[in-house]
Amino acid sequence: MDDLAKKALLPAGLQDLLPPDAAVEAAVAERLLACFARFGYERVKPPLVEFEEGLLDGTGAGLANQTFRLMDPVSQRMMAVRSDMTPQVARIAATRLSHSPRPLRLSYAGDILRVRGSELRPERQFGQVGIEMIGASAPAGDAEVILLAVEALKSLDVSGLAVDLNSPTLVTAELDALALEDAARARLRQALDRKEAAEVAALGGPAADLLGGLVAATGPAKSALGALAGLDLPTAAQGAAETLAAVARIVHEAAPDIILTVDPVEQRGFEYQTGVSFTVFARGVRGELGRGGGYPVGFEARRAGPAEAAVGCTLYLDSLLRALPRGERGRRIFLPAGTAWAAGDSLRADGWITVAGLAPVDDAVAEAGRLGCSHLWAGGRVQPTDGQV
Amino acid sequence: MAARDGLVLALPKGRILTEIGPVMRRAGIEPETAFADPEARQLRFTTSDEALSIIRVRSFDVATFVAFGAAQLGIAGSDVLMEFDYRELYAPLDLKVGLCRLVAAEPADLASDDDPSRWSHVRVATKYPRLTRRHFAARGVQAECVKLHGAVELAPSLGLCRRIVDLVSSGATLQANQLVEVEHIADISARLVVNRAALKTRAEEVGGWIERFRKAIDGAPAA
């Protein structure tokens, strides 16, 4: 490996975004935030790094093994680089904004860093844009967040949107009632995660029928909710199922054009969530565009009263960029060296991107082409570089 | 564009392929004639259903094609699924074909006075390093794996390492290589796998195929 190649090589999962992708990513984040702002969500900006015990408390606990840590030489305490922004916003809501009126609607955008990428997303650093509603009440709060995520993605012209609604507590309640040993529970959980109907039937014991019914109640919202309503759920799970149905109803009414599916057994990545969770997909796009759901806010150890209910949604910028058409570079015009500043001003006001020559050249047309300009400024007017008018 | 909009079913070459023929026919899938020709260089085939095409790939690659959404449906042995453990895969149906077992085996003369429950460390030649490590770790044994892509049964006799983890159906290959089974790891069968995002964004179509395969394995001809 020569010296230049060594300098160019980045650690696994990290990359440079180049033109036009970097600009597209920034513009996408801006448009999403603008959409959230129109619905009353105000932006917060937490820091990149926090003390470990704060960042990995409560909803953040599930990300402990995905989090980079470093020692703070000043305070001699362990710090952690954020691997998800939701716990940070939850912390802000529980501390500095604990006296702000509820429901508290906040939005955020920023990059996060993870120890390992996944199969579908090898990136270890990627951008998140999201919203959190703290002091939310079901089902209206859940539905608002889902609809707003859909609205924001529609504003970017993402087509074929699909929202999968989940209720992680449904299965947890079932598994708790079974009182299985850890290993047996893990096997059953894995079978549920993979929707292996035969294994669920074999491992489910007295709950096999019910769990099998939950696996079967997966699919388009209408039929799945019908199947779910037909199940003889224990009292603890009935409330969760009703909330799920209510959220589905509101979302379908407001956005009948999106594909709405229900999956009562999906739980991966939702382990710390309560209430309704959801994942956003787009047809033809690999992996998830975003996910969200309900969770409790408040510091586990120091929590004074009952936890506040919150619901949020995070959209992943890297997946979104894959879902969008490649960015355009805009109309570029070459201003040969010596062009008056004022001439450029009026062109820029007309929407041109001006690229100025620094020194006189013999062939201005060729120079314009070399610099990626479709037009040049010559003889006091705009001229195309291909000679046609 | 039509080809992109259709669904792709990934099938594994080899062992399972011959056994799933009847299941596919009962599910109403008739591949084009070139599919039956093992000499065909073609990798992608049309079927009687114009919305479904078939790709024929290595068994381990079925899981990868489906996990990444390059194929929406696939048929893979549960050995492959256990080895990869892809999050993006659902395995809703046991097709009950391609039945075999995943076992640990060693030379007969070694097995005669070997007690697997006393192992603390084993070196194993296998096509399934991750699955093997996970299995032995769960019972407190550290497994050091030598990854092979085939002919695993040769490893002990040539001194590559004394033990292997591999699929066994009749046991004839083990016997021919003077190996005996010392530990049963898992029962294996072929599974219908589907891509998670495809099941969500194309719920009706993909769900419809799952239903057709379900009817096909229950024996009744698909409606």
Residues of A within 8 A of B67 (CB-CB) are 119-120
CA distance A195 to chain B (A): 5
- Measured distance CA(A253)–CA(B50) in Å, rounded: 34
Distances (CA, A) of B139 to A183, B142, B143, B171: 12, 9, 11, 25
B4, B88, B196: which to substitute to probe chain A, counting the most A Cβ within 10 Å?
Answer: B196
Residue A6 resides in a domain: no
Q: How confident is the model at residue B3 (pLDDT cuts 50, 70, 90)?
A: very low
Residue A4 resides in a domain: no
Q: Would the CB atoms of A194 and B90 count as touching at under 8 Å?
A: yes
Distances (CA, A) of B164 to B109, B121, B124, B179: 15, 13, 5, 9
Angle among Cα A372, A376, A380 to the nearest 5 degrees reads: 165
Q: Which residue of B has its CA nearest to A262?
A: B200
- Measured distance CA(B37)–CA(B40) in Å, rounded: 6
- Measured distance CA(B162)–CA(B124) in Å, rounded: 7
Q: How confident is the model at residue B58 (pLDDT cuts 50, 70, 90)?
A: very high
**For chain A, which ranges sit under pLDDT 50?**
301, 389
Residue A5 resides in a domain: no
Chain B interface includes A117 (CB < 8 A): no
Same domain, yes or no: A214 and A315:
no
Where a domain ends, among A327, A343, A361?
A327
**pLDDT tens column, B85-112:** 888 999 999 999 999 999 999 999 999 8
Same domain, yes or no: A356 and A239:
no
Same domain, yes or no: A323 and A340:
no
The pLDDT score that the predictor gives to residue A170 is: 85
Residues of A within 8 A of B197 (CB-CB) are 281, 285-288
Q: How many domains does chain A contain in total?
A: 3
CB nearest to B68's CB, from A120, A193, A215: A120
Same domain, yes or no: A265 and A288:
no
What is the DSSP-derived secondary structure letter of residue A327? P
The pLDDT score that the predictor gives to residue A20 is: 87
**pLDDT tens column, A18-55:** 988 899 999 999 999 999 999 999 999 999 999 998 88
The pLDDT score that the predictor gives to residue A387 is: 61
Q: Report CA A99 to chain centroid distance, whole Å.
A: 27
**pLDDT tens column, B13-43:** 888 888 998 999 999 999 998 888 878 888 8
Residue A60 resides in a domain: yes
Domains delineated in chain B: 3-98+189-217 (3.40.190.10), 100-187 (3.40.190.10)
Q: What is the value of pTM for the model shown?
A: 0.89
Residue A2 resides in a domain: no
Same domain, yes or no: A202 and A263:
yes
A116, A119, A121: which to substitute to probe chain B, counting the most B Cβ within 10 Å?
Answer: A119
CB nearest to A119's CB, from B67, B94, B138: B67
- Prediction ipTM score: 0.86
Which helix (H) or strand (E) segment holds residue A187: the answer is helix A182-193
Residue A389 resides in a domain: no
Chain B interface includes A220 (CB < 8 A): yes
Residue A377 resides in a domain: yes
Distances (CA, A) of B70 to A5, A287, B54, B55, B74: 32, 12, 12, 10, 10
**Contacts (Cβ under 8 Å, ≥6 apart) of B152:** B125, B126, B127, B164, B165, B166
Distances (CA, A) of A261 to A178, A214, B90: 27, 14, 15
**pLDDT tens column, B207-216:** 999 999 999 9
Residues of A within 8 A of B202 (CB-CB) are 283
* pLDDT reading at B193 higher than 80: yes
CA distance A118 to chain B (A): 9
Same domain, yes or no: A153 and A295:
yes
**Contacts (Cβ under 8 Å, ≥6 apart) of B42:** B34
Q: Which residue of B has its CA nearest to A199?
A: B94
Compute the average pLDDT of residues B148-160.
93
Question: Which A positions 122-151 lie with beta carbon below 8 A of chain B?
Answer: none
The pLDDT score that the predictor gives to residue B178 is: 93
- Measured distance CA(B20)–CA(B26) in Å, rounded: 10
Half-sphere exposure at residue B70, Cβ-oriented, CA atoms within 13 angstroms: 13
Contact A216, B211 (CB under 8 A): no
Nearest Cα residue to A152 out of A237, A56, A28, A307: A28
Which domain covers residue A374, as residue numbers? 332-384
Compute the average pLDDT of residues B140-160.
94
Chain B interface includes A281 (CB < 8 A): yes
Same domain, yes or no: A146 and A176:
no
Same domain, yes or no: A297 and A180:
no
* pLDDT reading at B220 higher than 60: no
- Measured distance CA(A346)–CA(A381) in Å, rounded: 11
Same domain, yes or no: A152 and A289:
yes
**pLDDT tens column, A165-176:** 999 888 888 888
- Measured distance CA(A107)–CA(A131) in Å, rounded: 4
CB nearest to B202's CB, from A196, A283, A285: A283
Residues of B within 8 A of A198 (CB-CB) are 93-94
CATH number, domain containing residue A270: 3.30.930.10
- Measured distance CA(B134)–CA(B129) in Å, rounded: 9
Same domain, yes or no: A305 and A202:
no
Residue A71 resides in a domain: yes
Same domain, yes or no: A26 and A140:
yes
Half-sphere exposure at residue A304, Cβ-oriented, CA atoms within 13 angstroms: 3
Same domain, yes or no: A39 and A74:
yes
Neighbours of A181 (CB within 10 A): 8
